[in-house]
Structure 1
């Protein structure tokens, strides 16, 4: 069943790509005359929208709450990409699932992590590969913003002043969020300066905030915790007397709750990484995501953070 479903998807995608290559694809939103910028996931869409302002229509391929590591594009996704004026991706392998279907499309593409020095994944099958979650550092997102400005300038030269003004304003907000996060964590004692999560998605945030990172599995493409991973995490939490552990919103927290129980510590709450929430949820924007995670981490580890 799975193979036949995948085969049908490939046939539909091939037909879509052939059609896209043989016709003049519209480059604007059906509801407006603005060029469509299509991002691979919601976090990138929000960052891009802050730079684009009202000059471009920014959309995300994946929806709020989606697990992005193993996402399988649909024929509808490919049609949207074929009609986009610009495709925006993160890079570092997190959205490689889309590359094989968009390589032949005429729309220009921008990789937002270009110019960022990656932190390598430390363990398991992904050891040595770039940790893809560079957006979890607001400092890195300033580089994302610069890459967006350059791409938007090429797409809409008349909007250059708008893009640069929006970028300057957004960078100020990014720096404020970064400052509040680091300041709130500075006073924690050594044993509390450890961030233990389900996925190794916080390497950049941990680096910025001076935290030691530990996780059960390196990336969410392999969500099934094995006994060795769980045992190593329990041992770390016990040895360091870490006051709380956490898990991400897009995966089950069952394994981490097992760690908390065995290590005699608390489950500190849910963190957001790969996806924003719906507009009425806790993290409708990227800045809200960082603020929420900062509050949750600091509350769990024993401090307080500015809003």
Structure 2
């Protein structure tokens, strides 16, 4: 088993074709909706959700993201153009769990109904920092939780467009299968990692749900990106943890500066793993133009870091 895609060769054809098609349309995720398109417009808060909606929508609705590829969802500020696009929305889909702190000032000026796709997920609390005790909003990073997202998207689209019920149900079922493959891959490939080294050490604490599902201890430099850089105390604690547990690899996310984590790696003897992606997809020609690309990339990077083989 050399890598994730190789482990699922029986699905290689459909998965590759689906990813290619999504990559071709990903550039439209944050683009303004077409004026001559009479399909309902679904507006999402960020690119990850937009892509998930596209996979369930079966091309029956237009989908656009308020934020664009590469944007930090935590600190986003809506623009006048966003408000203009929002006026035409038939449905707005948000993550919830306090992720989109800016979202209320956006929706209070709009008349479209809003669906929260994290509903039904048992939230894990943020365990330190200014947001201690509040729900960790990064539930989509867990393949198990992503299945709840898919079901909620299916239900929201069905309510918006009842005639598409069967199409949404079939597309959601197909999408669930591809997401489940990622969870199975993680469980299988991480099974032999020693208990003392079963740790996921990142810059932001965005992997609580994935770490729980994969039976990994989570350690991070700061709880959420909006809190800024790690304190000397946090950096020292992470360095000590990595050294004491002989954690082989450390990670950082694409939207933050990894210099502190690289310092931890030098001090502890661990190596830096591949960059992880969380809050945003890339442009169509980038490494993670779709949500499935994102979680597959992160799964392979984590397996590679902790086992030495993707």
User: Could you state the TM-score of these two structures normalised by the residue count of structure 1?
Assistant: 0.88
Give 1:101 shift.
Answer: 2.1
Aligned position for 1:113: 118
1:260 lines up with 2:265 in the alignment:
yes
Aligned position for 1:215: 220
Aligned position for 2:149: 144
4+ runs of 1 displaced by more than 3 Å? Answer: none
Q: 2:128 aligns with which of 123, 126, 129?
A: 123
Q: 1:286 aligns with which of 270, 288, 291?
A: 291
Matched residue SS, 1:181: helix
Q: 1:53 aligns with which of 58, 61, 65?
A: 58
Aligned position for 2:86: 81
Aligned position for 2:251: 246
Task: Give the CA RMSD over aligned residues.
Answer: 1.2
Give 1:303 shift.
Answer: 4.3
Q: Gaps (5+ residues) in structure 1? A: 1-27
* Distance of 2:192 and 2:114 partners within structure 1: 43
Identify which of structures 1 and 2 has the higher relative contact order when contacts are C-alpha pairs closer than 8 Å and 6+ apart. 2
* Distance of 1:226 and 1:87 partners within structure 2: 37
Give 1:304 shift.
Answer: 3.4
Aligned position for 1:275: 280
Q: How does 1:1-307 map to 2 (within 5 A)?
A: 29-305=34-310
* Distance of 2:296 and 2:191 partners within structure 1: 16
* Distance of 1:262 and 1:143 partners within structure 2: 40
Give 1:100 shift.
Answer: 1.9
Matched residue SS, 2:273: strand
The alignment covers a number of residue pairs equal to 278
Q: Gaps (5+ residues) in structure 2? A: 1-32
Q: Which moved more, 1:84-93 or 1:152-161?
A: 152-161
Q: Deviations over 1:120-159 (max 9, x none)?
A: 0111221111000000011111111111111111111111
Give 1:29 shift.
Answer: 4.1
* Distance of 1:249 and 1:149 partners within structure 2: 29
Rg (Cα) greater in structure: 1
User: Could you state the TM-score of these two structures normalised by the residue count of structure 2?
Assistant: 0.87
